[in-house]
Amino acid sequence: MKKILILLLFVTSILSAQEKEFKYSLSGIKKVVLASGTKIVLTAENTSELVLTDNKKVRNNHSGHEDHQKEKAEKRKGLTAVYPNGKDNSDGFGFSITKEGSVLYVTDLKSMYQRNGINLTLPKTMNISVNAGNLGSVSLEGFTGEVEVATNVGKIEMKNVTGPITANTSVGKIDIDFDKVSQTSPITISSSVSEIDVAIPANTKADLELRTQGTVYTNFDFDTPKKKGLPNVSGNKSINSKLNNGGVKIYIKSSMGNIYLRKK
């Protein structure tokens, strides 16, 4: 019985920690620009709101944690948090949210040491630009709009996207699984050090450029680069080819890592 009670307290504590959320109407907004240095998870929904959740899970002694939180709340009672990069107008979440025309800027005012990850829910057609700073990572799924993502060390993961996509990282690994590939604008994916793994539908029309000093692995059939009719077996770091007679430009570059291009 005692074990069951402890388990219930544990689950309740986690749920209560995840319940806090902030909502913002996206009426008239065509693009959301997010800057945060933590683990960022974006989920596409049929919604007209931005829903922000601070995914802070509690795994310590729960009664002790609650007491500590109450003590902290008491200390800041009557005081207002101020930040170098703007004013918190997100009901205490520590974000500055400003609107310029049809663009919404969502800026994390807290440092990476004050976050354990954030979750955002946005409309699936929303255009998104995300900068995860030096150590943050980005994971997103289900978006059909334009997506731009930049990290330094953290990995980038995308599932069920259509593009156009721009993904850049210095050190992090990139995994992107396309549901289909939009033909409207070029796709650019690059990492300075790590491998890049991309999956696209077999019928995708594309002009490919793959650049790496590592190795390209694929189950697509495209011509080996040739010079004067002969295969170039060494020294060429770029592969240019067409898929299904050509289409949208897909540029994938990893300066040092392997590139995996998979047929779905």
What pLDDT was estimated at residue 237? 76
Peptide bond into 84 cis (omega under 30): no
User: In whole angstroms, what is the distance from residue 234 CA to residue 49 CA?
Assistant: 52
Please report how the helices 2-19 and 62-75 are oriented relative to each other, as an axis angle in degrees rounded to 10.
30
Query: Which percentage of the chain shows pLDDT scores above 90?
Result: 61
pLDDT digits (tens, 9 = 90+) for 142-195: 999 999 999 999 999 999 999 899 999 999 999 999 999 999 999 999 999 999
The model carries a pTM of: 0.82
Q: How far apart are CA 35 and CA 38, in angstroms?
A: 9
CA-CA-CA-CA dihedral for 197, 205, 210, 191, to nearest 10: -40
Over residues 245-264, mean pLDDT = 93
d(Cα 91, Cα 253) in Å, to the nearest integer?
41
Q: How many CB atoms lie within 10 A of CB 25?
A: 10
Pick from 117-126, 195-204, 221-230, 240-249: least confident: 221-230
pLDDT of the residue at 78:
77
Query: What would the pLDDT profile of 95-134 be if each residue is shown by its tens digit?
Result: 999 999 999 999 999 888 888 899 999 999 999 999 999 9
Highest averaged pLDDT of the listed ranges 7-21, 35-49, 54-68: 35-49
Whether the per-residue pLDDT at 219 is higher than 80: the answer is yes
Which pLDDT belongs to residue 72? 77
Q: What are phi and psi of 7, to 5 degrees?
A: -65, -40
pLDDT of residue 228: 55
Q: Are the beta carbons of 216 and 195 closer than 8 angstroms?
A: no
- What's the chain's Rg over C-alpha atoms? 22
Q: What does the pLDDT read at residue 75?
A: 82
Of the two residues 154 and 234, the one the predictor is more confident about is 154
* Alpha carbon separation from 162 to 124, 156, 178, 244 (Å, rounded): 11, 16, 6, 18
Is the Cβ–Cβ distance between 130 and 150 less than 8 Å?
Answer: yes
> Smallest Cα–Cα separation from 189: which of 157, 236, 235?
157
- Written as one letter, the residue type at 83 is Y
- Can you give the length of the chain in residues? 264
